[in-house]
Amino acid sequence: MSNLTGFEIRANLLSQAEGILYSNIEREIQAVQEHNMNNPEDIKPIPVKKISAAAVISLARKLNEFVIEK
């Protein structure tokens, strides 16, 4: 079992949150691409999204709430 500092735990949660948000965007893009390949008569634009620091921090806080739950 490793003993992480509070800073390391927060850094890990931020990294996980960022990865989750990027994965969600990738899945959304893949779904639109799949739709466009299967429905050439109904082409949808590929979504362009940015991840804000506030969104990463908000999700990291939610993850931390789960971690500290008893």
Helix axes 6-38, 53-68, angle to 10 degrees: 120
Q: Find the distance separating the first CA and the last CA of the chain, reported in whole Å.
A: 19
Decide if 24 contacts 46 (C-beta within 8 A). Answer: no
Q: Tell me the pLDDT tens digit for each residue of 30-53.
A: 999 999 999 999 999 999 999 999
Per-position DSSP letters for 13-70, written without gaps between them: HHHHHHHHHHHHHHHHHHHHHHHHHH-TTS--PPP-----HHHHHHHHHHHHHHHH--
Q: Tell me the pLDDT tens digit for each residue of 8-23.
A: 999 999 999 999 999 9
pTM, two decimals, is 0.84
